[in-house]
Amino acid sequence: MRNIYKTYAMLSVAALLGAACAKEGKENQGQGCLSVTVETAQTRAQSESELLSSAVVKIYKSDFSGLVRSYAYNQMPAELMLPADSYRIDVTAGGCNTSPVTYASWDVKSYEGSEPVTVSAGKNTSVTVTAAISNAVTNISFDSSIAATFAEGYSCTIGLSADDDARQLVYTADKSGQDGYFLPEGFEPSLYWSFSGTLLKDGSTFTKSGTIAAVEKGKRYTISLKYTEKSGNIDLELVVDKSTDIIYDDIIFIPVSTGVAATGRFDIWAGHFTAYADVDESEYDASKVFFEYRKAGEESWTRKSAERQSEGFFSAVIDGLSGSTEYEYRLVVTSLADGSESVIAANTNITTDVAPQVPNNGFETTSNAESSKYKSFYDPESLLPELQTKWWCSGNAGSTTVSSSHQICYPDTENFKEGTQSMKLHSRYVVIKFAAGNLFSGHFGSTIGTSGGTVYFGRPFTARPTAMRLWVKYSSGQVNRRESNAPAEIQTGDYDKALLRIALGTWDYKTYGGDANSPVLVNTTDTSTFVDYSTDESTIALGEVVMTADADNSTNVWQQMTIPLEYRNTNVYPTHIIISFAASYYGDYFTGYDDSQLWVDNVELLYE
């Protein structure tokens, strides 16, 4: 017998002729006020706050003639003035509202619900919208015959597409029996599956694939995989059980009493988090709602005023915190009756996100581990593990093919801001080609004749800094090397400029051509591989500064610079970080001034 579980998060939609409507008198006899309150209880896979932050409420005319209103839940006004008429209220939440849409996940669910409502002038009307799970749910298990027949590493890939990784999940032995969530689209969508394993008896590869047609939202497909052998022929038997079809995991939105509301994981950063609360404004003063917080175990509290986001819903950004640290906070409200303050319920604990720094951020560690012609920015003999392998790289491997005198990135022990040296990026004309001084997170690929080379950008990184701070100094001149494919905006005689960049993203190396550690491959001979991070769909945060230096504006002095990271999507964690510095902005086009020099020292990630 299957386990049925149910979570509740009710959407109470009340059409009320409230005070605002009553003041309008006879002129609004044909209108009513629609008041929408949303509150969720925590679900198994996603927290209350995460569901609410993704919830969208849309109001349509009941005759399907058009959309009347559309609101993100946390931006919804307390009261809506609507003409007396019949409407349809649609609610969506979870993965169907993320950007990009979550089509396949082990834990992110999608919810949909719809109910009719009639707004009548002078009357109170209410409707409850239950948003039911809208995923097709898979649960694949491997029969014992699979482990007995195949070597470790066998797997079954299943998804809404046979060739789109973003719409697939891979069941391995440790995922056996786990639910997977898919968001079907279109008419009678299918699930495509493919099993692959290595046979123990002869080491050969066995594969088999198939299709589960016409899958439905809200149903669980329990799938068992079993090895069979008939008349010496090996086969794989797949049994789909749809008897466990209805997934009871509804979301019903209801108003609740005063108290702290859950904070979703994406609202918790290393240096701050957002606290939420529901407050009954008929009992407590909306202008005197506070959060108090402190490090866990400390005695004194720090107070922060909460802001009213909508009727009965308050929040505050608690900042100035330290990474990987446990804090506790509580809600303090003020009685309307006598002005007394009350602490509501027990303290709530939260642990801030990690706040890592990039390795060798002061460039104090170098070695000739790769070549005697130039310095690399790591040392295999270092006592610190993070300094024993490459994180930073440059184009030295390409520029020094002729001789070590053509280094475009090297330590400078005479010009530095902290420690004993800085890193100097020096643009040069190398025999027959211009080479921009550069330094980046990733690794150099290879040279392509005398035309260019390949560069792999990025390093694994899952934290969310808010800015990058560093010391820089820049000296440049007028562009004297320009290739014909350079953008028209840069011409010979213009002053060269430097580029400082930090980007966080979810770049998939299968899409961007790189490898698992450095997923973004740039081929300098092929401009189609150049990535515009300002529009790139996998870039979730970006910070850039362009430094200029001309006859009237010298930047040839040390200056500390803070580059803010602008997040386009705060509901996803990055998988990689790209930091890159270039002494010549158009270096990818082999264009610039062949004596531009950029010094970089003490690169620091900020978590505020």
Q: Which helix (H) or strand (E) holds 398?
A: helix 396-399
Helix (H, G, I), strand (E, B) or coil at 145: helix
Cα–Cα distance measured from residue 193 to residue 174, given in angstroms and rounded to the nearest whole number: 18
473 burial level (CB within 10 Å; 0-12, 13-18, 19+): buried
Those residues with Cβ within 8 angstroms of residue 460's Cβ, 6 or more apart along the chain or in another chain: 517, 575, 576
Does the pLDDT value for residue 15 go beyond 60?
A: no
Given a cut of 80, whether residue 6 has pLDDT beyond it is no
Task: Tell me if the pTM is above 0.85.
Answer: no
Give yes or no for residue 150 having a pLDDT over 60. yes
pLDDT tens digits, 172-200: 998 988 999 999 988 889 999 999 999 88
Higher pLDDT pick, 53 / 601: 601
- Report whether the peptide linkage leading into residue 100 is cis, meaning its omega lies within 30 degrees of zero: yes
Tokens of 260: 């702290």
Q: Which of 252-256, 393-397, 590-594 has the lowest mean pLDDT?
A: 252-256
Two tokens at 139?
Answer: 């649960």
- Helix ranges (H only) for 251-303 are none
CA distance 302 to 43: 31
Per DSSP bridges, beta strands 438-448 and 302-305 are unpaired
Residue 265 main-chain phi, psi, to 5 deg: -65, -30
pLDDT at residue 216 tops 60 = yes
For 32-89, write each residue's pLDDT tens digit.
444 444 433 334 344 455 666 678 888 888 876 778 888 776 666 555 667 888 888 8
What whole-number distance in Å separates Cα of residue 212 and Cα of residue 280? 50
pLDDT for the residue 250: 54
> How big is the CA angle at 516 (ends 512 and 518), to the nearest 5 degrees?
65
CA distance 117 to 89: 7
Torsion angles phi and psi, residue 505, rounded to 5: -165, 180
Q: Using an 8 Å Cβ cutoff, are 482 and 427 in contact?
A: no
Confidence band, pLDDT 50/70/90 cuts, at residue 125? low
| φ/ψ (deg, to 5) at 385 | -55, -40
Q: What is the pLDDT of residue 467?
A: 98
Residue 83's pLDDT is what?
80
Residue with tokens 């150049």: 530
Residue 222 CA to residue 1 CA, distance in Å, equals 13
Q: Please give the pLDDT value at position 256.
A: 45
How far apart are alpha carbons 419 and 540 in whole angstroms? 33
Looking at residue 215, its pLDDT comes to: 87
3-class SS of residue 528: helix
Confidence of residue 448 (pLDDT cuts 50, 70, 90): confident
- List pLDDT tens digits, range 455-496: 999 999 999 999 999 999 999 999 999 988 888 898 998 999
If you average pLDDT over residues 221-239, what whole number do you get? Answer: 72
**8 A C-beta contact, residue 133 and residue 109:** yes
Question: Over 80: is that where the pLDDT of 551 sits?
Answer: no
608, pLDDT greater than 60: yes
Compute the distance between CA of residue 145 and CA of residue 239 in angstroms, rounded to an integer.
14
How, if at all, do strands 136-142 and 220-230 pair?
A: parallel
5 has pLDDT over 50:
no
HEC assignment per residue over 189-223:
CCEEEEEEEEECCCCCEEEEEEEECCCCCCCEEEE
Distance CA 602, CA 472 (A): 9
From residue 552, alpha-carbon distances to 358, 549, 555, 556 in Å are 35, 8, 10, 12
Q: How sure is the predictor about 13, in pLDDT bands with cuts at 50, 70 and 90?
A: very low
Phi-psi region of 339 (alpha: psi -120 to 50; beta: other; left: phi over 0): left
pLDDT by residue (tens digit) across 328-359?
A: 999 999 999 999 999 987 788 999 999 999 99
CB neighbour list of residue 422: distance below 8 Å, 6 or more residues apart? 363, 411, 412, 415, 416, 471, 599, 600, 601
Centroid of chain to Cα 266: 9
pLDDT of residue 307: 95
What percentage of the chain has pLDDT greater than the value 90? 49
Among 361, 405, 550, 564, CA closest to 474: 550
Q: Which helix (H) or strand (E) holds 94?
A: strand 85-94
Question: What mean pLDDT do residues 310-319 have?
Answer: 90
Greater pLDDT, 277 or 402: 277
275 and 307 in contact (C-beta within 8 Å)?
A: no
The whole-chain average pLDDT of the chain stands at 84
Distances (CA, A) of 225 to 143, 213, 240, 297: 6, 17, 9, 51
pLDDT exceeds cutoff 60 at 8: no
Most distant CA pair in the chain, distance: 89
The candidate with the shortest Cα–Cα distance to 401, out of 381, 377, 421, 374, is 374
Nearest Cα residue to 210 out of 196, 228, 194: 194
The pairing of strands 438-448 and 452-457 is antiparallel
Reduced to 3 states (helix: H, G, I; strand: E, B; else coil), residue 174 is helix
Residues 6+ apart with CB under 8 A from 489: none
Could you tell me the sign of the dihedral formed by the alpha carbons of 44, 45, 50, 53, in that order?
A: negative
Q: Are 486 and 586 in contact (CB under 8 A)?
A: yes
pLDDT band at 432; cut points 50, 70, 90: confident
Query: For residue 452, what pLDDT band results from cuts at 50, 70 and 90?
Result: confident
* pLDDT category of residue 14 using cuts at 50, 70 and 90: very low
CA distance 56 to 40: 13
H/E stretch holding 104 reads strand 104-105
* Mean pLDDT within 292-319: 93
Please give the Cα distance from 428 to 437 (Å, whole number).
7
Judge whether residue 246 has pLDDT over 80.
no
Structure tokens at 150: 């195949």
